Structure 1
Amino acid sequence: MQLPDDPGTWEVLESTYLYREPWLTMRRDAVRLPNGRTIPDFFIWEYPAWVNVVALTGNGEMVLIRQYRHGAAKVSYELPAGVHDNPTETLLDAARRELLEETGFGGGEWRELMRLSANPALQTNITHTFLAEGVEEVGSQHLDSTEEISVHLLRPDKVKTIIDEGEMLQALHAAPILKYLMENL
């Protein structure tokens, strides 16, 4: 949505890739602001889209996972989530795949719940969170060789407490859960 008094966009004068790897691509842009000033070194991180799933079983339990995250050096609660890095796969299909691979749950009714950016100032990607209601266990986990994930089925009031007590560190996971809780509790 564009408002009449919105600031203008920046003009990219030059763009140089500094680092290109599958999980981290960084570029340096030289940009001109609408007021004519320039920033010669503005750094951007490029990532593919991310997908998250707020999944609820037929009896209203939320499917959460716990895994170790090396950046925080901590195990915490998260949503089933992953990267959308296959151009032949839709965002919804990627979310369904991640839920099944990480938890063994599937099925249910699905819709997009919200879109967020981890850091719109410096990152190019969007996180797409889907709501899956009425999921059930349909198989076993199919984890990558580097993943160790435990699955937890929790009542929404317990999930609210987990977020309130700081046991879910990932803001892109807490925000869609809080949106769901605001709409449904």
Structure 2
Amino acid sequence: MPGTPETTPAARQVSDAPSPRRLLSSEKVYEGRIWDVVSDTFQLQDSGDALTRDYIDHPGAVAVLPMNEQGEILLLKQYRHPVGMDLWEVPAGLLDVEGEDFVVGAARELAEEADLAAATWNVLADVFNSPGSSSEAIRIYLARDLTEVPHAERHERTDEEAEIEFHWISLDEAVASVLAGRLHNPSAVVGILAAAAARVDGYARLRPADAAWPAHPSQR
């Protein structure tokens, strides 16, 4: 059919894959409080011209979509200064504890930001937040069988986190909010849509919490 791309065996399964290129030099050009900016010079092909790209060198992050027994999900409202907006998000945080297991980090963020613990964990999605400008890899979990963290053990939230507000919302309403352009946080948007897709078969095809994460920089 005219204008239809050819289908090859490799194209039938769409899967991102590592693609090592010849690195000529790498320099840290900015050292920040949380992440650095790196300038890499590399070649796409052995005989190709040298290219230079600056990007954020990021430790990665985890995000959690908490779901209660009624199938509602928890969203948190938090101020984000770079965009100057209050955003409805899901609990999330940096993987900045060296050697910490990914799901342990996710459980820590769930407790610190939402005062919740979960007995059932699955992977919803793995994403790069902005692969053209950052190495940040994010793993988004679905957390179920929730219980509240005892008051005496709750994390004291400060700065922007001190203003966090909670709101339980049905998954269908959350999907509608995404499609209507009312939600913008990438972890929330991806997590909500992934959960809606996974709900079709009762979340049976979701990966276990300890599934391999080869896209994370620490695993490559």
Structure 2 length-normalised TM: 0.75
Match of 1:176 in 2: 191
- In 1, Cα distance between equivalents of 2:58 and 2:156: 22
Q: In the alignment, is residue 73 of structure 1 matched against residue 92 of structure 2?
A: no
Residue identity matched to 2:119 = G
Match of 2:71 in 1: 60
Match of 1:145 in 2: 158
Residue identity matched to 1:121 = G
Runs ≥4 residues deviating over 6 A: none
Identify the range of structure 1 (51-60 vs 136-145) with the bigger mean alpha-carbon deviation: 136-145
- Within the candidate set 31, 47, 52, 2:42 is matched to 31
Identify the range of structure 1 (92-101 vs 106-115) with the bigger mean alpha-carbon deviation: 106-115
Is 1:65–1:149's contact at 8 Å kept on the other side of the alignment? yes
Is 1:102–1:143's contact at 8 Å kept on the other side of the alignment? no
Residue identity matched to 1:67 = Q
Question: Quick check: which one's strand share is greater?
Answer: 1
Q: In the alignment, is residue 42 of structure 1 matched against residue 53 of structure 2?
A: yes
- In 1, Cα distance between equivalents of 2:24 and 2:157: 41
Unaligned ranges ≥5, structure 1: none
Structural RMSD (CA): 2.2
What is the CA-CA distance between 1:27 and the residue it aligns to?
1.1
What is the CA-CA distance between 1:160 and the residue it aligns to?
1.3
Q: Deviations over 1:89-121 (max 9, x none)?
A: 211011111111111111230122211001223
Q: In the alignment, is residue 116 of structure 1 matched against residue 131 of structure 2?
A: no
Count of residue pairs brought into register by the alignment: 182
- Within the candidate set 181, 185, 191, 1:166 is matched to 181
Q: In the alignment, is residue 97 of structure 1 matched against residue 112 of structure 2?
A: no
Identify the range of structure 1 (77-86 vs 24-33) with the bigger mean alpha-carbon deviation: 24-33
SS of the equivalent of 1:179 reads helix
Percent sequence identity over aligned pairs? 24
Residue identity matched to 1:87 = E
What is the CA-CA distance between 1:22 and the residue it aligns to?
3.4
- Within the candidate set 30, 38, 42, 1:19 is matched to 30
Q: Deviations over 1:107-151 (max 9, x none)?
A: 230122211001223322310111111213234552442122111
Unaligned ranges ≥5, structure 2: 1-9, 12-16, 201-220
Structure 1 length-normalised TM: 0.88
Residue identity matched to 2:191 = P
